[in-house]
């Protein structure tokens, strides 16, 4: 039985055999054998193991797989807004936006489809209806499109930075100013495929922040993004010496996170503001802190060194 999957973003530019090995969890030699025997092919061009994987490539696999368990469902994922065109969910931590290579946990898309929510077919295979994503380790509001009209219009609004995205983050240390802007290009870090960094060769990235509350050891900030680079908030605050509390990947102090009983970065997508794709009315959707972030915030407020 054949299966067709889009080329994963993280593997674009890799050799075909290297990419296939990572996708299937097999050796590079075995991947080469599958390509040579044409058990794995590209739909629109020849698949040569020494050539690079391109954006938009569709990979067809003739492989026998043991039956896979069904995708876990995020039963606790709340729907905070829904109409005929869009659905906005309050994504819990530990839920991915969509299925990807190596991810076996629940996804926003899979959980919505499991509930019988109609999602437009527009978008890449396995990512239909999705115009903006949140990291697995970030909770909060995420919009998914149900109609073709919504997909086209909301994709435009997100790409042209017309959507107002407000996040709250608890960052380490005491920010020097009450409000400021971080403008620094972000690109993939050379030390890891999964980390990003401020680099002159990166893409433009702009982050605005306002202080909400100061605790000395940490600062609660409201953040608006002009751009939507991967890990943008995490990278930008780390670059100015104030990594997000609990964000060990970008230099957070693990002892502080342990004291606050926090096992992920303190970051939540609090508000989405956009022009409704059909009515064109300005629309605002709000969230509240999930239990683990609220608990950590309560803990830092009770510290004797909090201001």
The CATH number covering residue 8 comes to: 3.10.290.10
Q: pLDDT band for 100, please (50, 70, 90 cuts).
A: confident
Average pLDDT over every residue of 228-256: 95
- Same-domain check for residues 156 and 281: no
Residue 266's domain comprises 163-307
Q: Which of residues 112 and 39 earns the better pLDDT score?
A: 112
Choice among 136-145, 212-221, 266-275, 298-307 with the minimum mean pLDDT: 298-307
* Encoded tokens for 220: 């609660």
CATH number at residue 203: 3.30.2350.10
Q: What is the pLDDT of residue 191?
A: 73
In order, the DSSP letters of 18-83 are: HHHHHHHT--HHHHHHHHHTTSEEESSS---TTSBP-TT-EEEEE---PPPPPPP--TT-EEEEE-
Please tell me whether residues 214 and 307 are part of one structural domain: yes
166, 185, 198: which is closest to 267 by C-alpha? 166
Task: Kindly give the residue spans of alpha helices, DSSP state H, lying in 167-259.
Answer: 232-239, 254-259
Residue 71: pLDDT band (50, 70, 90) is confident
**233 with 293, same domain?**
yes
CA atoms within 13 A on the CB side of 28: 8
Among 144, 160, 176, where does a domain finish? 160
Query: Which pLDDT tens digit goes with each residue over 130-140?
Result: 999 999 999 99
The predicted pLDDT at position 1 comes to 54
Task: Point out the residues that are catalytic.
Answer: 135
pTM: 0.78
| Whether the predicted pLDDT of 65 surpasses 70 | no
Q: Which of 122-131, 133-142, 251-260 has the lowest mean pLDDT?
A: 122-131
Please state whether beta strands 186-188 and 196-198 pair in parallel, antiparallel, or not at all (unpaired). Answer: antiparallel
Residue in 198, 130, 127 with CA at minimum distance from that of residue 158: 130
Least reliable range by pLDDT among 12-16, 89-93, 299-303: 12-16
Q: Which of 62, 87, 103 is the last residue of a domain?
A: 62
Which residues, 6 or more positions from 161, have their beta carbon under 8 angstroms from its beta carbon?
226, 227, 228
Q: Do 132 and 251 fall within a single domain?
A: no
Summary count for the chain: helices (H), strands (E) = 7, 14
Chain centroid to Cα 301, Å, comes to 29
pLDDT at 88: 98
Weakest-pLDDT range from 20-24, 95-99, 110-114, 301-305: 20-24
Average pLDDT, integer, range 77-82: 97
User: Residues 57, 105: one domain?
Assistant: no
On whether both 36 and 109 belong to a single domain, the answer is no
> How many angstroms separate the CA atoms of 299 and 127, rounded?
38
Q: Is residue 113 domain-shared with residue 137, that is, in the same domain?
A: yes
Q: Does 151 lie in the same domain as 11? A: no
Whether residues 123 and 222 share a domain: the answer is no
Considering the domain architecture, whether residues 35 and 78 belong to the same structural domain is answered as: no
Residues 41 and 85 in one domain: no
Q: Which residue has the tokens 């009450």?
A: 178
Query: Rounded mean pLDDT of 243-268?
Result: 96
């Amino acid at each position: 039985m054949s299966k067709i999957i889009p080329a994963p973003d993280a593997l674009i530019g890799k050799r075909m055999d290297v990419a296939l090995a990572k996708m299937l969890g097999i050796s590079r030699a075995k991947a080469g054998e599958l390509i040579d025997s044409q058990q794995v092919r590209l739909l629109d061009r020849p698949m040569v193991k020494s050539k690079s994987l391109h954006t938009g490539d569709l990979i067809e696999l003739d492989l026998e797989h043991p039956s896979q368990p069904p995708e876990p469902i995020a039963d606790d994922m709340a729907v905070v807004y829904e109409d005929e065109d869009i659905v906005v969910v309050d994504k819990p931590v530990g839920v991915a936006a969509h299925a990807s290579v190596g991810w076996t946990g629940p996804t926003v898309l899979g959980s919505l489809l499991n509930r019988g929510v109609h999602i437009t077919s527009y978008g890449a295979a396995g990512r239909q209806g999705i115009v903006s994503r949140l990291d697995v380790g970030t909770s909060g509001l995420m919009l998914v499109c149900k109609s073709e009209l919504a997909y086209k219009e909301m994709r435009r609004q997100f790409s042209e930075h017309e959507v107002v995205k407000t996040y709250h983050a608890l960052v380490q240390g005491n920010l020097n100013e009450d409000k400021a802007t971080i403008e620094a290009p972000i690109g993939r870090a050379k030390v890891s495929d999964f980390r990003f960094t401020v680099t002159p060769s990166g893409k433009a990235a702009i982050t605005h922040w306002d202080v909400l509350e100061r605790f000395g050891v940490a600062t609660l900030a409201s953040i608006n993004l002009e751009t939507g680079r991967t890990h943008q908030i995490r990278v930008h605050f780390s670059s100015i010496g104030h990594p997000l509390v609990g964000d060990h990947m970008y230099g957070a102090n693990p002892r502080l996170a342990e004291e606050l009983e926090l096992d992920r970065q303190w970051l939540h997508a609090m508000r989405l503001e956009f022009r409704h794709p059909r009515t064109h009315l300005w629309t605002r959707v709000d969230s509240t802190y999930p239990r683990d972030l609220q608990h950590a915030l309560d803990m830092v407020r009770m510290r004797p060194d909090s201001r």
